[in-house]
């Protein structure tokens, strides 16, 4: 009899546990009326998901090409890359045009009118877009002003202190084998 009561109690507890567990049901979705803040929902944009949660509104998006576009006065300092020896300084007017949401062209470095093509990213950095050569070429890079010269490097925009200023860091490999570093700042013309 002692075992019978124990078995009956365990059976009743098991039945109670079985019927007390109900399958979870998801609540019906609703739109929170407090979430009215618009945010950009385009992953290519610089301000992607800024202001999330809220309502997606791609009309407020701005893209990497817009960060760099404009006319700039560029102050260039040129150094020998191997030794760091200063060679010369120069001032140029650079024109930066948008080619797409993520591509820009820089005109003004070359006297023949050639432009440099850069891929602009949402991190406020633009890098040389294409490279010439293959594994047999020592210095890969984009063609720079003459047939044998190549250039690699970046343009960076300071997003906090001086938003109208760009920082250039370019490495130029000439067809004679000399490597130079072009380092300078460009200030947006008003």
Could you give the domains of the chain? 23-62 (no CATH), 64-188 (2.40.128)
pLDDT digits (tens, 9 = 90+) for 23-48: 778 888 777 777 788 999 999 999 99
Question: Which percentage of the chain shows pLDDT scores above 70?
Answer: 92
Contact 59, 42 (CB under 8 A): no
Contact 182, 76 (CB under 8 A): yes
The per-residue pLDDT of the chain, averaged, comes to 86
DSSP element (H, E) containing 77:
strand 70-80
Average pLDDT over residues 125-136: 72
pLDDT of residue 63: 94
User: Between these two residues, 32 and 85, which has the higher pLDDT value?
Assistant: 85
pLDDT of residue 142: 79
pLDDT of residue 127: 93
């Amino acid at each position: 009899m002692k075992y019978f009561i124990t078995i009956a109690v365990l059976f009743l507890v098991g039945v109670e546990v079985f019927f007390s567990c109900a399958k979870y049901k998801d609540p019906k979705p609703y739109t929170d009326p407090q979430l009215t803040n618009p945010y950009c929902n385009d992953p290519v944009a610089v301000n992607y998901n800024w202001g999330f949660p809220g309502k997606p509104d791609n009309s407020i998006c701005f893209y990497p090409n817009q960060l760099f576009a404009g006319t700039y006065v560029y102050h260039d300092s040129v150094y020998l890359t191997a030794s760091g020896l200063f060679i010369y300084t120069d001032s140029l007017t650079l024109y930066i045009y948008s080619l797409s949401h993520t591509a820009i062209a820089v005109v003004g470095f070359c006297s023949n009118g050639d432009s440099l093509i850069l891929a602009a990213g949402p991190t406020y950095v633009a890098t040389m877009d294409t490279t010439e050569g293959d594994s047999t070429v020592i210095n890969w890079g984009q063609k720079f002003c003459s047939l044998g010269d190549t250039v690699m490097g970046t343009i960076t925009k300071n997003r906090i202190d001086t938003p109208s200023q760009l920082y250039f860091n370019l490495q130029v490999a000439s067809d004679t084998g000399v490597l130079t570093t072009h380092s300078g700042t460009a200030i947006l013309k008003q």
